[in-house]
Amino acid sequence: MPDAFYEPDGELLVATELTRGPWDPGAQHAGPPAALLGRAIERLPDGEGFQVGRITFEILRPVPIAPLRISAEVLRPGRRVQMVAAELSVDGEVLMRARGWRLRTAPLAIPPDVVSTPPPPPFPAQEEGFVFFPTEHELGYHSAMEVRFESGGFMEIGPATAWLRMRHPLVAGEEPTPLQRTLIAADVGNGISASLDFRKFVFVNVDLTVHLERMPVGEWVCVDATTLPQPNGIGIAESVLSDSEGRIGRALQTLLISER
């Protein structure tokens, strides 16, 4: 059994079965590759004192469970604001792109009545099993992540609130960073808050945008999600992201919705 989502192999990162998503046994859930692109952005030079404020992932095609090549660059250097980008490719084909802003952080005296961080949703005290989308495979994203639902569920219709924690490192031998812990969880919004029966409808996200007001503390990230479908076959999944101290940001997904 693998003990990480990815194993280093020279200049490549080899995806393990822990990255498997629910729809195609040969394709990854979008969360792990998003976190991998975030890892590449974190490793770019001149990032000390900066935080990712916004990052958008364009999902061009499903990412196979295969060796991946990751590249990243600073598109717009700056002393206070930097635009950054990263790409994920397999056999020379780019399958996923990320672009975002790194912002310099600095202490700022803001009146207490202006800063009002909503408290986090309740954390389920006891670990409870959950029903994942039907899959014939024991290993995958569903087994690699510990999930505790405060409300809703993968197989329930309507909004849902779930706390998620990585059971394994993103890359073997490395401790996951706060950004990686956030990005690997942020993509579950449309999966946990379906407004339509997944047996009759398909709702695929073509992107993921994450806005971060601050980085999370601790291992757990909460995703409080709602999916809003429209009769034209387009929808949006909105998620508020939190840690044990309260809100940390928001995630948005653009959805293509169709009948099966």
CA distances from 30 to 85, 96, 116, 192, 206 (A): 17, 9, 32, 14, 10
Pairing of strands 207-212, 50-59: antiparallel
Q: How many domains does the chain have?
A: 1
**What is residue 114's predicted lDDT score, i.e. its pLDDT?**
77
Digitized pLDDT (tens) for each residue of the chain, 260 residues in all? 899 999 999 999 999 999 999 888 899 999 999 999 999 999 999 999 999 999 999 999 999 999 999 999 999 999 999 999 999 999 999 999 999 999 999 988 888 777 767 789 998 876 666 666 667 778 899 999 999 999 998 888 999 999 999 999 999 999 999 999 999 999 999 999 988 888 888 888 999 999 999 999 999 999 999 999 999 999 999 999 999 999 999 999 999 999 98
Domain that holds residue 167: 6-105+124-259
Q: Which residue, 116, 130, 86, 118, is CA-closest to 224?
A: 118
CB atoms within 10 A of CB 89: 16
Residue 153 lies in a domain: yes
Using the structure block, give the residue that is written with the tokens 């600095």.
106
Do residues 228 and 235 make contact, with C-beta atoms less than 8 angstroms apart?
A: yes
Residue 115 lies in a domain: no
- Domain of 210, CATH number, reads 2.40.160.210
Residue 114 lies in a domain: no
Do residues 97 and 135 make contact, with C-beta atoms less than 8 angstroms apart?
A: no
Residue 119 lies in a domain: no
Residue 112 lies in a domain: no
Torsion of CA 187, 191, 192, 197, to 10 degrees: 160
Residue 15 lies in a domain: yes
Do residues 94 and 69 make contact, with C-beta atoms less than 8 angstroms apart?
A: no
pTM score, whole prediction: 0.94
Residue 155 lies in a domain: yes
**What is residue 79's predicted lDDT score, i.e. its pLDDT?**
95
Return the DSSP state at 64: B
Torsion of CA 106, 54, 216, 31, to 10 degrees: -160
CB atoms within 10 A of CB 21: 23
**What is residue 219's predicted lDDT score, i.e. its pLDDT?**
97
**What is residue 183's predicted lDDT score, i.e. its pLDDT?**
98
Residue 236 lies in a domain: yes
Name 67's Cβ contacts closer than 8 Å, sequence gap at least 6: 9, 12, 13, 14, 15, 90
